[in-house]
Amino acid sequence: MTSLKTTTLTLLTGLAGLAAGFAAVTPGEPGTVIAQSSPELPPPPANGELGFVVEEFAPPVVQGKEACPDGTVPKLKEAYLASLPEAERARLALKENEPEFTRRWQATAVGPGNTNICSQPDRFRRPLLRTVQSPTAQGLDLDRGAGGESCEHGEFTSPAGETGIDNQEYRVMGCTLEWRGKDGIAGDIASGLRQFHASGEWTQVLLLRGIDSFDRDDDVEVIYANTADRPPADAKGRFLPGASFTVSNSGPRHRNVLKGRINKGVLTTEPTTIVLAQTWGQGGARDLRGSRSRYTFNQGRLRLVFRPDGRLEGLLGGYRPAFEVIQSPAIGGVGAATTAGIDCAGMLATLLHYADGVRDRKTGKCTAVSSAMRVVAIPAFVNDLPAATGASAR
């Protein structure tokens, strides 16, 4: 058996390279999927109910060189090398000095008392990461431009021209290699997160009740929950429509009841806290093997478009606690730093620097970042279990 202490998933949850996905849906019209309704929708279901299973759930990244003109965020060893005088850089870059170089850069990942920059990121002082420089991002207007509880922050404009987009998670994470990738197409996170939804680990379902019209309906109940059932898939791994799923009834149970409305084929929900499953297997015996982790979207809301082919497509937005964004490498521990080269401490510091939501009552500082996830769901039969047994219902 292999040691798990050095294993980690290199994904960092948040926004990611879904530009390719958008292009596939609406070629040549990036961003329009979010804003426009579909004129060719079928009549609403007779019983007013529609079920869906979420096939895509990943942060949307707007590709293009203007976003990260200085390149992607350096890995730990690249950052270490860049911190050295030129002559020393040249010496360590020699093949025969690789063992010394490895020893030295990996030493930057550990600290006194058996600490490391991923397990205890708040105990290390690291430079802030490169951030997205482009004014364009996908996302929702979470503060409606008014600020309120939000801290001062820059806002983006969507590719479709919508202003006031809040997405500080993308600002911070959008230049990491994991999100942006190296080929101008997509980052690893786009495909990496998919497995969790295909395996039943994070699989999500949506159940819409009380639909009277796709044109206008002010009262739609939306159940947004996890299911332990695996979606059946075709040979290419695409989920098959029409499968049955039952809302999870074992802890930790996540069943969010949202109040929604439909306007011209666009479903939106009122802000509330949305919690969804996110577990990680890495981390060894050091912790709870990821069972402590989850997705939390404070003031979370959905904006989804009904498609003529039956799909629901759009965004989930909200404010995510800063640490939650790096929980995968944090659970991975030192292996995330020395195996995948992730600077968890730098990431957390940058996330907190750009945090724009959920003020700490004592310090007055924001502790969460505005965030968005691209959501694509396909028709399914959803068996709701409103009453939890032995688990906390939400």
Partner 1 sequence: MAIDLTRRSALRGLLHGAAVTVGVPLLDAFLDGNGEAMAATGSPVPVRFGTWFWGLGVNPTRWFPDKPGPGYDLKPELEPIRPFAHKINILGNFNVMLDGAPNLPHTSGGAAIRTGRALTAERGLPGESFDVTIGDRIGTRTRFRSLEMSAAGDARNSLSGRGGGNLNPSETSASALYQRLFGIGFKDPNSADFVPDPVVMARRSVLSAVGEQRRALERAVGAADREKLDQYFTSVRQLENQLEVELTRPEPLQACRVLPPVKERPVNAEIENVVVNHALMTDLLVMALACDQTRVFNMMFNNGASSLTRIGSTITHHQLTHEEALDNRLGYQPEASYFLSRIFEAWVYFVSALDRIQEGPRTLLDNTLVFAHSETEFAKFHTIDNIPMMTAGSAGGRVRTGLYVDGMGTPVSRVGLTLQQAMGVSVDSWGTQSMATSKSIGEILA
- 318-357 mask for partner 1 (x: CB under 8 A)? --------------------xxxx----------------
Q: How far apart are CA 130 and CA 280, in angstroms?
A: 27
Q: Is 287 in the site for partner 1 (CB under 8 A)?
A: no
Shortest CA distance to 10 belongs to which of 345, 373, 340?
340
Of 83, 133, 244, 250, which lies in the binding site for partner 1, with binding defined by CB under 8 A? 250
Burial of 27 (0-12, 13-18, 19+ CB in 10 A): exposed
Q: Is 203 in the site for partner 1 (CB under 8 A)?
A: no
Residue among 15 and 211 whose Cβ is closer to partner 1 = 15
| Residue 207 β-bridge partners | 51, 223
Q: How far apart are CA 231 and CA 252, in angstroms?
A: 20
Of 24, 46, 285, 387, which lies in the binding site for partner 1, with binding defined by CB under 8 A? 285
Taking the complex as a whole, how short is the minimal distance between the CB of residue 205 and partner 1, in angstroms?
A: 16
Taking the complex as a whole, how short is the minimal distance between the CB of residue 281 and partner 1, in angstroms?
A: 4
Q: Is 186 in the site for partner 1 (CB under 8 A)?
A: yes
Residue length, the chain? 394
Q: Is 47 in the site for partner 1 (CB under 8 A)?
A: no
Q: Is 191 in the site for partner 1 (CB under 8 A)?
A: yes
Q: Which of these ranges, 85-93, 140-148, 275-283, 359-367, lies near partner 1 under the rule CB under 8 A? A: 275-283
| Chain center to CA of 145 | 23
Could you tell me the two tokens for 84?
């050295």
The C-alpha R_g of the chain, in whole angstroms, comes to: 21
Q: Is 82 in the site for partner 1 (CB under 8 A)?
A: no
Phi then psi for 253, rounded to 5 degrees?
-95, 130
Residue among 181 and 318 whose Cβ is closer to partner 1 = 181
Distance (Å) of CA 37 to CA 218, 262, 384: 16, 10, 28
Looking at residue 364, its amino acid is G
**Interface positions with partner 1 (CB under 8 A):** 1-4, 6-11, 20, 75, 95-96, 98-99, 102, 177-178, 181-183, 185-188, 191-192, 195, 198-201, 228, 230, 232-233, 235, 250, 279-282, 284-285, 289-291, 338-341
